[in-house]
Structures are given as C-alpha cells and as structure tokens.
Amino acid sequence: MATRAIEPDFGPLAEARAAAYAMPLADIDMTTPGLFETNTHWPYFERLRDEAPVHYCANGRFGPYWSITRYADIMAIDTDHQRFSSDAHLGGITAKDMDSDFILPMFIAMDPPKHDVQRKAVSPIVSPLNLAKMEVLIRERAQSIFDNLPIGETFDWVDRVSIELTTQMLATLFDFPWEDRRKLTYWSDSATKDETIPGNPTKAEREAIMLECLIYFTGLWNERINKEPGNDLVSMLAHNPATRDMVPMEYLGNLILLIVGGNDTTRNSITGGLLALSENPDQYAKLRANPALIESMVPEIIRWQTPLAHMRRTALEDVEFRGQQIKKGDRVVMWYVSGNRDERAIENPDAFIIDRARPRQHLSFGFGIHRCVGNRLAEMQLRIVWEEILKRFPKIEVMGAPKRVPSAFVKGYESLPVRIPA
C-alpha cells in the first residue's frame, strides 16, 4: 500500500502504518485509546475500509464488536433504527456498554417513541429565532474572551479559548449561574473520561460527581418549575408534558446528554480548526484573503476534526450486512472518523480544504433520528469564533504539539500551546 501524500515516510505515523498492515486483521481493535492519543489510528482505518469494511473484533477492550468504516455503510446503519437500537439497557451508544448498575436514561440512548417526544421537548432551544437571539450574547462573550488574551506570550488555547467559549455557550443554554459555569465543564469531562486510564475518576468517583450535578440542577429545576417558562433547557424540560415527570436519574441523564453534547464536541472543533489552519498555511492565506470562506470552512473543520469518533448501536435481530452475519445483540460501532476520510464518498478526504464544493457532506453530526440537535448552534459558535479571530489577530502561532485525549469516543485535545505575536 502506497504512503498517502500527506504523510511523512518516517516518524510515528509511518511506524503505525507498518504495524497496521503487519498485524492479522482479526487483531485490530479500534477502541484502543492509545491510537487516538497518538493520532495513529489513520492507517488502521484505511486498512479496514479497504480490506474489511464490516470487521469483527472478537476481543475488544469493551467486548466483541463490529466496526463499520465506510461512509455509505455508516449511513445505512445510522438511518436503520428499526434494526439497530440505541437503547441504554442494551448497552447504549458507545463501544463501552453503559454501566448496568448506573443507567442514565437519556434520549440519545433511547429508541422511538420515547426518544422522539423527549427530543421534541428540547428542540426549541435551537429554533432559528432562539439561535438569532443567542448569537448576540455568544458574540459579546466571545469578544470579551478574545480581547483579554495575552499577547506575545505562550498560553494554552484549549483552556483559555476553547473551554471558556464552550462553557459560556453551555451556561447560556441552561441559563446557568455564571460564576459556577466551570462546574459544567467538570461534570462533562467527568462523565466521558475513561475510568480505566490512571488519573481519571474511578467508576465510584464518577457516580458521586454525577449525583453532585443532579443535586445542583435539581435546585435550578425547583426554582423554575413554578415560574413562567424561560427560554433555557432546564425550563423546557421542567415545563414540557413529555419530560416534566421524569425520575431524577432521567433528568440527570438528559442533562449529561445536553452538557456533553454541547461541550467536548464544540470545544474540540475550536481547537481542531486552529490546528488544521496552522498545518495548512495555504488554507489560512486563502481565508485571510477572503473571510467569506468561513461559511464553508466551518463544516470542513467539523469533518476534519470529527469530534465524536464513533456512535454504537445494538442489533435487534440477525442482519446480513455486506456479506457479514451480524447477530441479534451484537455491538455495531459506526466509525464516523473513518467514514469522513473515505475516498469512496469524499474527494481528496485527507486534505483540509476550506472551499470544498460540498463541505456539509460529512458524518460528524450523524444521520437519522438521532442526528445532532445542536448542529446549527455548533456551526454558529464556530462561525462567530473565526469572524472574531479574523477581526483581531493576523496570526496565531502554534508553539508545540497538541496533547490529545486518550479516548476512542471523544476525539479531541487536552492542551495546545499557542502565541499571538505582538
């Protein structure tokens, strides 16, 4: 297999390529967090797409599972909720099963009809009118973050910009007490961190942190339940007939969904965009010459980053799929990160091109009944970020390698050192 044009023929990626093609296909386990922490998953996915697009891993870290790696196949599974379930009680939506002794019911991990009514309860948050209202607030807050960045010294872009912007957006969505907003980040990070990795919260610690989140939000619910419904997510859940009688764990589950949904994903797109432009100076020059390209660059960033590497389903019946026999109860993992680099569907997929002809053709938001509720909001946030950056900073220098998250689910960054030249 020839080395692709964008890859150097030395270093970790070249070594990963050799390893990916040397090992028996059956041994490939894409749920290995190290492959994402070191950014070396690419050649493994490439091999799976070419040689075993519906691939069975019998000894996965989280148990046996199928990997679906081609764009069209992912689309086929994602839009077939009749046969491929998201139900938390069958394992939920990540390769790792939801803990059966701490099930958090949330509508992303439900099938119809309950999924549909709960989704409807929160959808007004992203109505065009509400988005327009939020845009003003989100822009003001972004401006203040950018105006206060240090000039001429190295700082962490993830903490100062990506996390802060996203946390402020979440606080806006929940009408959350402003001074406590970093709690949202803490709860979100705690909910998704892999407990098997040293330094991350253990299962018991995570559950305690989740209950802390529930207690805090129960206070907000009680304040808002007897008031006129506001335009925030807590009021929407508290007043809608489909959600107002939720048991506490279901309230918590949906809160975690909305916090995590809006947090890691947008945060990592903000960092990923800066990194992509820094690695592709010709694209940055194009953007500076024509800021109107922000419109097509935003979805390209979201494709290029693919902030959620996968979603998982469980087969509700035996299914023959592309010649493979998927059995009832099997885990089926749709690797969006791979589908977004499938040259069968996307031209020149490994290249970051801010003026692609069809930039919205990507899998990062999923498809079908669970397609991301917040997609327009996320795009708006990224558009504002780049509009405000271009107004202020001719250059932002990336000063070192990013530290990536060791996770096969959240594909993102823990830190990225940058400097804005004086």
Q: Contact positions toward ligand HEM, by CB under 6 A? A: 78, 107-108, 119, 257-258, 261-262, 265-266, 269, 302, 307-308, 311, 364-368, 370-374, 377-378
DSSP string, 204-270: HHHHHHHHHHHHHHHHHHHHHHTS---SSHHHHHHH-TTTTT--HHHHHHHHHHHHHHHHHHHHHHH
Tell me how far, at minimum, the Cβ of 365 lies from ligand HEM, in Å: 5
CA–CA dist 217, 223 (Å, integer): 10
CB of 17 or CB of 370, closer to ligand HEM? 370
Tell me how far, at minimum, the Cβ of 375 lies from ligand HEM, in Å: 6
296-312 burial string, b = 16+ CB within 10 Å, else e? Answer: bbbbbbbbbbbbbbbbb
Tell me how far, at minimum, the Cβ of 153 lies from ligand HEM, in Å: 29
Q: How many helices (H) and strands (E) does the chain have?
A: 16, 12
CA–CA dist 338, 415 (Å, integer): 24
153-175 burial string, b = 16+ CB within 10 Å, else e? Answer: eebbbbebbbbbbbbbbbbbbbe
CB of 13 or CB of 98, closer to ligand HEM? 98
Tell me how far, at minimum, the Cβ of 27 lies from ligand HEM, in Å: 27
CB of 210 or CB of 308, closer to ligand HEM? 308
End-to-end CA distance of the chain: 46
Per the CB < 8 A criterion, the answer to whether 214 and 251 are in contact is yes
Tell me how far, at minimum, the Cβ of 269 lies from ligand HEM, in Å: 4
CB of 302 or CB of 353, closer to ligand HEM? 302
Tell me how far, at minimum, the Cβ of 257 lies from ligand HEM, in Å: 5
- Give me the residue label for tokens 């970051």: 352
Residues near 416 by beta carbon (within 8 Å), at least 6 away in sequence: 156, 157, 158, 271, 274, 275, 398, 400, 402, 403
Tell me how far, at minimum, the Cβ of 289 lies from ligand HEM, in Å: 26
CB of 20 or CB of 189, closer to ligand HEM? 189
CB of 274 or CB of 373, closer to ligand HEM? 373
- Give me the residue label for tokens 């949906």: 254
CB of 31 or CB of 266, closer to ligand HEM? 266
